[in-house]
Structure 1
Amino acid sequence: MDHLTDLLVELLAMPCVTGEEGPIADWLADRYASRGDVVIRVGNSVVVAPPEVEGDDRPTVLLVGHTDVVPPTEDDITPRVEGDRVVGRGASDMKSGLAVGMDAFEDGALRGGRYRLVLVAYAGEEGPHEANELRDVLEAVPGLAAAELAVVLEPTDLRVQLGCMGALHAQVTIHGQQAHSARPWQGDNALSKAGAWLASWHDRPPVDVEVDGLTYREVASPTQAWTTSARNVIPGEFTVSINYRFAPDKTVAQAEAWLAETIGDVGTIEVVDRAPACPPSRHAPAVEAFVAAADAQSSVAPGGAQSSIAPQQSWTDVARFAEVGVPALNFGPGITSQSHQRGEHVPIANLAPAREVLGRFLAG
């Protein structure tokens, strides 16, 4: 399927860092309007559906991909084919998934098949939770919340990843007393005061949590730290950002309570971003049908059969679909270990199998 590689390279040529998705939204809208499809624009997000036909009561399946990427590096800013892989920012996360979804949506046989297909290409996934445009799309476009399944085309190493972890970002501020660095005894250094507490996070092990037969790994880690002091000033405040990824057995409120208890009274805590976890919709009929299609593919894959199901360790927008009652799963050709890496790439060999699974499911 050389056309999938060509389409992916074309998508990668539009970098679309979060907040700059306008050009790719224009390109998508023009592409599908010229084909006679119904195009709905919400901000820099695009929803595409075939023209409505009276009496068409087929269940709807959403093919869902985000168009934005994290900032590129010099190793991946220029999209290219290198041997057996495609290199470019977003190659795995998640332009390859978007390319596979677009190709399935444009397949005339699948469009006339068991399901009514709707393509959802949305902006803002890589940024703050509240700036993600998918919620606006779900509120603005009638009928999406009645879909039978949403296939979120995130990188999953060609496995069906169910549910997702929740995420909290908290800022912990340790307080001391500012002073001149020539006379540190006149102050209380908030930075060094935090030393033992900060070091205690280094060896904190993951905690395995089983939900509906799938094992999710809870982790909490410092990700940023800063003072606002000049370099000749003993800092009176030192702030650490803690990122907590919690399993689908917890609500946001329960996760916040755990984090507050774990941090204790070392400093003041402010939760600055929160995203709910999503339990696996493992027994929804459409999810079971998709897993069956993936199982059929894995049984003939090189290396023999393996389980097609895995837990989703990061946060994805399956959680937003769960909020409106739409069963959702993660599936895509991207490599999870390549997400946000320098020199991001995807194996060309992953594109056709992902497309085949999608086609097998949609063909019923």
Structure 2
Amino acid sequence: MPSLDLTVSAVELTRIICDIPSVSDDETVLADSIHAAIAPLEHLDVYRDGDTIVARTDLGRAQRVVIAGHIDTVPINDNVPTRDISVDGQPFLWGRGTVDMKAGVAVQLKLAAELVAPRVDITWMWYDHEEVDADLNGLTRLARTRPDLFGADFAILGEPSNGEVEGGCNGNLRAIVRTAGVRAHSARAWVGENAIHKAAPILQRLAEYRPREVAVEGLVYREGLNAVRIRGGVAGNVIPDLCEVEVNYRFAPSRSLDEAEAHVRDVLSGFDVEVVDGAAGARPGLDAPLAQEFLAAVRAEPRPKYGWTDVARFSALGVPAVNYGPGDPHLAHHDEERVSVAQIEAVERGLRAWLTGS
């Protein structure tokens, strides 16, 4: 089991934990290392559920904050071990997980070890299986087994946000749109009905669709409705009798999941639409007093989060939550994934200043 030295810099700690592979469903080694490093700290009460580790202060403060980050990554593609690179003369760490989101986790681990008497009580959560199906997510499991651990006045997810504060998140819905035909030999196509050809109007509607930009509590969220996958065909000499177009809808948090589904069905009326997955978004929640204090402490101008993140889980529980972490989200999952050293240091300074009141 690799040893984690939480006294090193957050930059060096990022390097260490990135070099411990933890692709989804293979997080145990990293989880063991985190647990071994955190468990001896006397100022923290530590609880483990599978490969999710929770560490809490219990100082009797008037307010509590959850600060969370996932420890899994998407699959490695020759981008481990981590290495130092320079981009436009600035130092970066390159490698899988540097952006999404081990740099954020490294900052959290270092602060968890060092902040013995923060101004608020803190619940630190490092969880598994974020990059895969929601029912496998460590927070989903933890919410079932220990819902009491989610009690808080405010939450921060260390998702990459370029060191800026991103409030709330868009919702996410996936649907399968089907067309049916009749199989026939392609040499006698007139005998059958081509289901793939029948999908052309679906693609036309999606191509002509103009997504909204929606203001929610002062932040403008951009929506999107797109075909992301097409399945159809039987053989090279057979007219297909089925075609499926997978559609992804990213919708502003002003819409409920039911409203989002109704909108997709309206746009694609006349076709067989099956919703196969969906998650509501999260409103920014930046009017919460702790959120305002946080923004002031880190000197941030809040922005909207266009993708879905686990802030929605906290929002659904009545806990306002934001995304705040180092790394450019455009480089998440990228083969050239890399994080700015300056952003790691800036996020550490920002969180430290807010949590200590200094």
> What is the TM-score normalised by the length of structure 2?
0.91
Aligned counterparts, 1:186-201, within 5 A = 186-201=191-206
Deviation at 1:199, TM superposition (A): 4.0
Q: Structure 1 segments of 4 or more deviating over 4 A?
A: none
C-alpha separation between the residues in 2 aligned to 1:232 and 1:41?
56
Partner of 2:82: 79
Give the stretch that moved more between structures: 76-85 or 96-105.
76-85
Equivalent residues of 1:73, 1:343 under 8 A apart: no
| The one of 221, 233, 237 aligned to 1:232 | 237
C-alpha separation between the residues in 2 aligned to 1:28 and 1:233?
55
Matched, 1:106 2:116: no
Deviation at 1:175, TM superposition (A): 1.0
Deviation at 1:180, TM superposition (A): 2.1
Tell me the amino acid that sits aligned with residue 159 of structure 2: E
Identity of aligned residues (%): 34
Deviation at 1:15, TM superposition (A): 2.7
SS of the equivalent of 2:287 reads: coil
Aligned counterparts, 1:1-364, within 5 A = 3-36=9-42, 37-50=44-57, 52=58, 56-74=60-78, 76-83=79-86, 84-107=91-114, 110-141=115-146, 143-227=148-232, 229-266=234-271, 268-295=272-299, 308-364=301-357
C-alpha separation between the residues in 2 aligned to 1:40 and 1:347?
32
1:171-192 per-residue CA deviation (whole Å, 9 max, x = no partner) reads 1111111222232222111112
C-alpha separation between the residues in 2 aligned to 1:137 and 1:159?
28
SS of the equivalent of 2:123 reads: strand
Equivalent residues of 1:105, 1:118 under 8 A apart: no
1:223-255 per-residue CA deviation (whole Å, 9 max, x = no partner) reads 111125233322111111101011011110000
Tell me the amino acid that sits aligned with residue 141 of structure 1: R
Indicate how the Cα distance of structure 1 residues 192 and 203 shifts in structure 2: closer, same or farther if over 3 A, else same.
Answer: same
Tell me the amino acid that sits aligned with residue 42 of structure 1: D
C-alpha separation between the residues in 2 aligned to 1:203 and 1:9?
45
Equivalent residues of 1:161, 1:310 under 8 A apart: yes
SS of the equivalent of 2:66 reads: strand
Unaligned runs of at least 5 residues, structure 1 = 296-306
Deviation at 1:142, TM superposition (A): 5.7
Deviation at 1:2, TM superposition (A): 7.1
Deviation at 1:38, TM superposition (A): 2.9
Equivalent residues of 2:205, 2:268 under 8 A apart: no
Deviation at 1:92, TM superposition (A): 1.0
Partner of 2:4: none
Tell me the amino acid that sits aligned with residue 219 of structure 1: G
Tell me the amino acid that sits aligned with residue 77 of structure 1: V
Indicate how the Cα distance of structure 1 residues 26 and 207 shifts in structure 2: closer, same or farther if over 3 A, else same.
Answer: same
Deviation at 1:91, TM superposition (A): 1.2
Unaligned runs of at least 5 residues, structure 2 = 1-6
C-alpha separation between the residues in 1 aligned to 2:220 and 2:275?
26
1:284-327 per-residue CA deviation (whole Å, 9 max, x = no partner) reads 011001110121xxxxxxxxxxx621011111111111111212
